[in-house]
Amino acid sequence: MIKVGIVGGTGYTGVELMRLLARHPRVKLEVITSRSQAGSAVAELFPNLRGQIDLNFSEPAAGSYRDCDLVFFATPNTTAMSQAEELLDAGIRLIDLAADFRIKHVPTWEQWYGATHACPALLEEAVYGLPELNREAIRDARLVANPGCYPTAVILAVMPLLANNLIDPESIIADCKSGTSGAGRNASVGTAFCEVTESVKAYAVSGHRHLPEIREVLQTLDTGADLVFTPHLMPIIRGIHATVYADARGSADQVQSLFEDHYRDEPFVDVMPAGAHPETRSVRGANICRIAVHYLPSANKYVVLSVEDNLVKGAAGQAIQNMNLMFGLDETTGLEAPGVMP
């Protein structure tokens, strides 16, 4: 059994990790930490876990994880980097669901996150945890940077196009929509029910923290890659819908089969039939990114539609997929459930 700790068990990604790991056949949850809820029962705060997890929240401290093989950080940015070196030195492997290790270039990270990086030496070692891109490196990793939710949807949408030189790499436009759970569990006016229901709005148009992450990863596929990225808030709880546009190069005759071939062996990427329009509700609760590719001959552009559950393939599910790879398991273990409808 893999002995697992979760740092920050009271946020939405933390409880999603617990929901999925509670039924994982090869995991034993050792410790779940929370400063605000230390001493209280997990099932008291999250009644959906009654009968599934019989643990109390603990104070977060390095000693709390001494019996763990792996620790997930489901915490705000800058938390994992303050404890990473100590835990790695103790032989504990880490998966950070925040952004501390996603961007390799230190000045870029510090510019976008407004802090001095506490352990820049670990950035080179950290593996970007998108299995469809870095599967073999993830298997051997001590430290995995779990991708952001928007980056997962956007990168998977354009990977086949960039890898096959089918688009102008500087022409990418990602128009993305997310549910309110992406903003976290802390109360705020901007995500209150009365503020978001029956309304859609763009935000961070001048620059979102996921922009440099997407750009850096896409440039590993094509050094000239760049994009415009605009996120929007939707009046739904879960789900991301990314509509990605790019100028086409060459013939588009084989693009459907190219996408199907590229992702044929990927258990968590579903390429839909030609002309399809994936819906966020179809991936709710599932570790699936569902994709459809379209070509607009009048504009000579590709339009790729990409949907995922931001809390699963965009966060906790992908983190468990990475854990499975790191410990030599079939990467689908514990993640086989389909989406929940309606």
For residue 175, how far is the Cα from the chain centroid? 17
Q: Which token pair is 112?
A: 């976008």
For residue 152, how far is the Cα from the chain centroid? 6
Q: Which token pair is 301?
A: 């552009």
| Residue with the two structure tokens 């019989």 | 54
The two beta strands, 227-233 and 201-202, are: antiparallel
Distance CA 107, CA 99 (A): 14
Is 119 assigned a catalytic role? no
Q: Which token pair is 31?
A: 């410790």
Other CB atoms within a 10 A radius of the CB of residue 43 amount to: 17
Element (H, E) at 154: helix 149-163
For residue 312, which of 342, 273, 280, 276 has the smallest C-alpha distance? 280
Task: Assess contact for 254 and 166: CB atoms under 8 A.
Answer: no
Residue 89 phi, psi dihedral angles, 5° rounding? -60, -25
Q: Which of 68, 119, 149, 289 is catalytic?
A: 149
Distance CA 32, CA 87 (A): 15
Question: DSSP labels for 297-326?
Answer: TTTTEEEEEEEE-TTIIIIIHHHHHHHHHH
Task: Assess contact for 242 and 261: CB atoms under 8 A.
Answer: no
Catalytically active residues, by annotation: 149
